Amino acid sequence: MAEQELPDFIALLLHKFPDVAFLYYLYIWRNVFYAVMVAFILCIFAFIAARRKALIPEGIQNIAEIFVEGIDDFVCGILGSRGRKHTPFIGTLFIYILSMNMLGLIPFFKSATASLSTTLALALCVFCYVQYSAIKEMGVAGYLDHLAGKPRGAIAFSVVLPAMLFLLHLLSEVVKPLSLSLRLRSNIWGDDLLLSVMAGLGLKGIILLLVNMLSVLLSGIVQSVVFSLLATIYLAAALPLEEE
């Protein structure tokens, strides 16, 4: 097996025991394994943080509340007061992606977001959530009217212009998941590949490896923010303007 990225413990186990069928299938589904593992760890963290809530937070609860407050300000800063009901989705998305990105910095582990299957699944979740939220708030007829550019007056009697706007909006909605998934996957995969090249230099490249690990750490945070920011902007664009 030719590895472009740094080998994780699953790849090493399969190399050591090539005849074990379980390890072969685990290797094939390792991105799913790491994604589920991160979700499981985050669930445990959330359970511990919320188990004994105190008026004056401390420890894990304090860390959790800092994250929640920061993400809520971030979402409401874009969506306004109505953004609070979308904070759980955007916040979960951000923390989940950030955790998967950071996992690749731990020796013998792998970032699940370096796989297009993972990032596409996340992007499809955003797509479905945006469409659901828009239809729930405007209704099916209202959402179709929104996609058609809300033609009024003489424009409403013109079939061509509303139809063109509808097709353009529909195409943009379909393209968004592909754009989201490719951006995240390409950046994280490139970071993992860079670390693999630096590690291949041995002791001669140890300084470069450490410097690039800091670069990859920053990139993982930035890509998590960018993905969440774009998801929030897509949501804002699909929802009707908030009245003052």
In a domain, 4, yes or no: no
66-101 confidence digits (pLDDT tens): 888 999 999 999 988 888 899 999 999 999 999 999
Is residue 2 in a domain? no
User: pLDDT digits over 93-122, tens only?
Assistant: 999 999 999 998 898 999 999 999 999 999
CA atoms within 13 A on the CB side of 26: 17
> Cα dihedral angle (143, 149, 155, 158), rounded to 10 degrees?
-70
More confident: 221 or 168: 221
Is 1 a member of any domain? no
> Locate tokens 């991160």: which residue?
38
Q: How far apart, in Å, are the Cα atoms of 28 and each of 20, 31, 32, 116, 146?
A: 13, 8, 9, 14, 43
Q: Specify if 243 maps to a domain.
A: no
- Residue pLDDT, tens place only, 134-160: 898 888 888 887 777 666 655 555 666
Count of domains for the chain: 1
For residue 86, the enclosing domain spans: 9-238
Identify the residue with better confidence: 205 or 80: 80
pTM to 2 decimals? 0.88
